Amino acid sequence: MLDAVERARSKLDAQMLYAEEEGRKRGEREGLEQGLEQGIKQTKIDTAKKMLKMGMKVEEISVVTDLSVEEIENLK
């Protein structure tokens, strides 16, 4: 009976380690995705700011950067 308890405990430990590792991997993936999205958004904002300095129309900037007219107006 002791062997059965030890096997069950060992199996549970292995399952917990697996779950922890999967959770860590998922967190890393989500963090990378979020960082990439933020980087893309910041690049669009930086591009829009440069285009504004060049005197381009807000509507044109919106088409090029996919930022809303309101987002671009807020950069002024």
Where are the extended beta strands (E) located within 1-76? none
pLDDT band at 2 (very low <50, low <70, confident <90, very high): low
Rounded to whole angstroms, the Cα distance separating 72 from 76 reads: 7
In terms of pTM, does the model score above 0.75? no
Residue among 68, 22, 3, 14 at smallest CA distance from 41: 68
Tens digits of residue pLDDT in 25-37: 999 999 999 999 9
3-class secondary structure, 76: coil
